[in-house]
Structure 1
Amino acid sequence: MAAPRRDTRGILDPAELLSRVRFRRHEPAAPELRPYLEHYWLIDWDLPEPFASHVVPHPSVNVVFQRFEDRSYGEVAGIGLELFTQKLEGRGRVCGVQFRPGGFRPFAPDAHVSEWTGRRLPLAEVFGELDGDPVASVLAPADDAGRVAALDAFLLAREPRPDPQAELAIGLVDRIRTDRTILRAGAFARSEGMSLRTLQRLFAQYVGVGPKWVILRYRIHEALERAASDTAVDWARLAAELGYADQAHLVRDFTATVGVPPTAYAPKG
C-alpha cells in the first residue's frame, strides 16, 4: 500500500495555506481500512487574524470532525461540485477522512453515494445512531497517533464489508486519475467492456458523480498544479494535452470551477 500522496492538487495557493496551518496526512493504522481510503488529513491552526482557504474538491466523500474555537461537530461531506471556501480563525482543529472515489459506500450501504453529492450532513443522518461521542474521541488526543487510532475505531465500528462493485469503481476512477489518455467517458466505457449507461450507473451508486465529471475534475486539478508551478504555461498546448478541443474550452471550465481565468490565477510563493 502506497503512503499518502504528497501533492497539493486541488488546493488554491497551497504555499499560503501551509504557511498558516499544520497540515498532515496519514494512512490508517488498521490494514483492513486502507483499500477504501485515500488517507486521513489533520489540520491544526492558531491564527492572529482570519484566513480563508479555497479548495477545488476531489471526487471523494469525506468524513470530517472539526473544532472551531468552542464548537465541535462531525459531518459527512459529499463530493463538492463547486469551489469550497472555509474561513479559519482563532484556534481550531480538523481531523478528516478522505475516501477513495468509490470507497465510501461499504460504510453506508443503504443509499447511493450520489445522494450525498453537494451536501454536508450530520454523522447520525448518514450512519444512524452513534455510540458514545465520536467527535470528542477523535478531536481530543494531543498526538497524531491517538487521532489516527480514534478515526480507525470510528470507521471499523461501521463494519464495512467487501463489495466487488466498490472495488470495481475504485479501480476505474484510479485509471482515470493516472491515465491521461482517458479523455471521453464513452470511449472509456467501451475499453472496459461496458456500456456508457452501465458505467454512469455504477458511478452514481458508488462514486457520487458521473465519469465525465471525474475526467473533467482531474483535468482542472492538473491545470491548477501546472499554473501554480509554472508562470509561463502554454495554455493552448496544455488544453490539447488534457483532451480539450481548444484553449477556449479549458479557459471556460477553469474559470467556472476556480472563479478566475487561468491567466489571472497566480498563487503567491
Structure 2
Amino acid sequence: MPTFARLPPPEQVAPLVRWFWIPQWRIAPGRVSRQQILSFPACNLVVGPDGVELAGPTTRVSYRDLTGTGWAVGALLRPAAVPHFTSDPAALRDASRRLDLPDLQSPVVEAMTGAGDASQRHAAAVAAFADWLNATVGPPGPEALLANTLAELVDTDHAVLRVEDVAARLHVSTRTVQRLARRHVGLSPLTMIRRRRLQEAAQLLRTDPATDLAGLAARLGYADQAHLATEFRTVLGFTPTAYRRGTSDAVTSATARRFS
C-alpha cells in the first residue's frame, strides 16, 4: 500500500502553504491501488518525476489509480499563494494544469532520489520546494492575508454555517467575502463551508464507525440526518451508512486515503 507523509511548512512559507504532502508507492506488477480522494477546498501545487501541475479545488470525490513505483511532493496552497499561479482558480475546478517549472522540479526530484532515509529525503524535498516558493511568490499583501484568514475561519470555526457568519467575523461585507473566495480559492464561500462540514463528517466516521449519524448531523449543523445523507451522496456518491460500512473494512480503509 502507498505510504503518506504530511509535513508542516517552513516558517518562511507558512503564509503560502498549509502543509506539504508526500505519497510514495511500490505496487506489485499487475496490481492497481485505487486511492479515493476527498480533497480540501484549495489548490495544490504538485511536483512529480514527470513534471509539475497545479490542481484546482474540487467539488466532488475523485480517484487515483496507482501502479508501479512512484512518488509526488505536493503543497496544499493557502489562498494567498493562488493568484501567483492562476488568475481564475474557478476555471480549474475538478481539473489540473501542467506548469513548466524546471527550477522547481529539478531540486525536488534531486532531493527525492538522493541519499538518506525517507524522512531525510522528505525534509530535503520540502526545503527545496519552500526555497523556490519563497523566492518566486514573495510575501503576501493585505488582501491575500485576509483571504487566508477567511479560509482558516471556515476550516476551524464550526459555528460558521453561513456566508453572513464569515462576513461578520471578518468585519467585511458578504460581497467582499465572495470576491475573496472567488479570486483566492475558486469556490464560493458556501461551498467551502459545506466541504469543511463534509470533511469533518467523513473524518469522524473513519475514526469512529460507531458514531451516531443523527447526533453527527446535529453536531455539524445539518438540518437532520437526511440532510447529511443527501450531502454525502451528492459529493461522495454513497451514503454515510455505506461509507461507515466501508471504513470498517481494513482493506477498504487502507485504500481510502487523501493525497492532499
Q: Tell me the TM-score normalized by structure 1.
A: 0.81
Q: d(CA) in 2 for partners of 1:153 and 1:230?
A: 39
Q: Which SS does the other structure have where 1:215 is aligned?
A: helix
Q: d(CA) in 2 for partners of 1:194 and 1:149?
A: 36
C-alpha displacement of 1:106: 5.4
Partners of 1:105 and 1:166 within 8 A in 2:
no
Residue 258 of structure 2 is matched in structure 1 by none
Cα–Cα, structure 1 residues 169 and 183, in superposed 2: closer, same or farther, change >3 Å?
same
2:187 counterpart of 1:209? yes
Residue 152 of structure 2 is matched in structure 1 by 174
2:41 counterpart of 1:59? yes
Q: Which SS does the other structure have where 2:241 is aligned?
A: helix
Q: Tell me the TM-score normalized by structure 2.
A: 0.84
Q: Deviations over 1:23-65 (max 9, x none)?
A: 1122334x32112211111121111121010111101110111
Aligned 1:95-244 pairs, distance under 5 A:
95-100=73-78, 102-105=79-82, 107-108=84-85, 111-124=87-100, 130=101, 132=102, 134-141=104-111, 142=114, 143-244=121-222
C-alpha displacement of 1:146: 2.4
Q: Which SS does the other structure have where 2:228 is aligned?
A: helix
Q: d(CA) in 2 for partners of 1:41 and 1:183?
A: 28
C-alpha displacement of 1:75: 0.3
Cα–Cα, structure 1 residues 187 and 43, in superposed 2: closer, same or farther, change >3 Å?
closer
Residue 11 of structure 1 is matched in structure 2 by none
Q: d(CA) in 1 for partners of 2:9 and 2:57?
A: 21
Residue 26 of structure 2 is matched in structure 1 by 46
Task: Judge which range, 56-65 or 231-240, deviates more.
Answer: 231-240
C-alpha displacement of 1:123: 1.2
Q: d(CA) in 1 for partners of 2:151 and 2:199?
A: 14
Task: Judge which range, 140-149 or 195-204, deviates more.
Answer: 140-149
Q: d(CA) in 2 for partners of 1:193 and 1:40?
A: 31
Gaps of 5+ in 2: 115-120, 251-260
Aligned 1:6-17 pairs, distance under 5 A:
none
Alpha-carbon RMSD: 1.9
Q: Which SS does the other structure have where 2:136 is aligned?
A: coil
2:13 counterpart of 1:33? yes
Q: d(CA) in 1 for partners of 2:104 and 2:158?
A: 40
Aligned residues: 237
Cα–Cα, structure 1 residues 133 and 194, in superposed 2: closer, same or farther, change >3 Å?
closer
- Identify, as 1 or 2, the structure richer in helix: 2
C-alpha displacement of 1:252: 0.5
